[in-house]
Amino acid sequence: MSHAATESAATAVQDDPSLVPVARAVDLHKVYGAGDTSVAALDGVSVDFWPGQFTAIMGPSGSGKSTLMHCLAALDSPTAGAVFVGDADLTRLGDKELTRIRRDRIGFVFQAFNLVPTLTALENITLPMDIAGRTPNQAWLDTVIDTVGLRNRLEHKPSQLSGGQQQRVACARALAGRPDIVFADEPTGNLDSVAGAEVLGFLRRSVSEFGQTVVMVTHDPNAAGYADRVLFLADGRIVDEMAEPTADRVLDKMKHLDARPAAAEHGG
Ligand code: ADP
Ligand code: MG
């Protein structure tokens, strides 16, 4: 693996921590498999995620959205390029250090909730900290629990909660340790529109009120409308970006992006 990109990116990092992205990808490549069957899931992605910003990532199925999030969250390793969380270059760290960064600095929300069925909502929320041997900050925990509206559901098991409530538990779990950044991969994909709006409202508040940094993959223009910016991915590359998105503008952009390859195919 080449470290040329790594070094030039490292020297670009500023002294003032507020001017350092919470996470960044530098010319990220990810190839699955080898030979004829290899797939370039990421094909040169460079992007910065700034403190207190809510970013949505959109793109067709298979465009590399999950792969990008997994590489940024230290759940997968890129084939080439660099990933920084703060000033730490993940591609240069060993397993122990990666585990610590995942645990202490990153929160992740999955489409399928991924709660432990035998634990209560509260136990699920504090599980990562319990495993890490960290004592939750009670005031912060209370804030998170009240913000997601789970105060009177804390003793319930996941099976006793609706899908929306389960995802709010998963969001609370991701935020309870006050991570530097929360990644959410289609967090509303299994929810009806009302429950989805609750989860999105909570993610929005975590950014606007608590300064959380959030990156969310979604297929839904309405969901993207909650974000501060949208990245559009196609074939493993960032092909477009939108600031201050609204659902209507995102929908319009998606139509244009979809139209391009189709026009080329049928154009003559
Ligand atoms: P998205 O989340 O946008 O749907 P993914 O990041 O999951 O896209 O996948 C991007 C590409 O990489 C797809 O072609 C997918 O089939 C391939 N891919 C993803 N994960 C693996 C894997 N573990 N092994 C082989 N190919 C994979
Ligand atoms: Mg995906």
Question: Is residue 242 over pLDDT 60?
Answer: yes
> What superfamily in CATH does domain 3-258 come from?
P-loop containing nucleotide triphosphate hydrolases (3.40.50.300)
Q: Whose CA is nearest to atom 27 of ligand 1?
A: 32
* R_g over Cα of the chain: 19
Distance 171 CA to ligand 1 centre (A): 24
Question: Is residue 259 over pLDDT 90?
Answer: no
Distance 141 CA to ligand 1 centre (A): 35
Q: Are 65 and 225 in contact (CB under 8 A)?
A: no
Q: Report the alpha-carbon distance of residue 56 to residue 215 in Å, rounded.
A: 6
Distance 98 CA to ligand 2 centre (A): 22
Owner of token pair 């609750």: 198
Which pLDDT score is estimated for 7? 42
With CA atoms as reference, report the closest residue to 103 among 137, 74, 141: 74
Domains in the chain: boundaries: 3-258
**Which pair of tokens denotes residue 167?**
């995802």
Residues with CB under 6 A from ligand 1: 32-33, 39, 41, 59, 61-67
Q: Whose CA is nearest to atom 26 of ligand 1?
A: 32
140: Cα separation from own chain's centroid: 21
Q: Report the alpha-carbon distance of residue 236 to residue 252 in Å, rounded.
A: 21
Question: Is residue 5 over pLDDT 50?
Answer: no
Q: Which atom of ligand 1 is nearest to the CA of 42?
A: 10
pLDDT average, residue stretch 164-169: 94
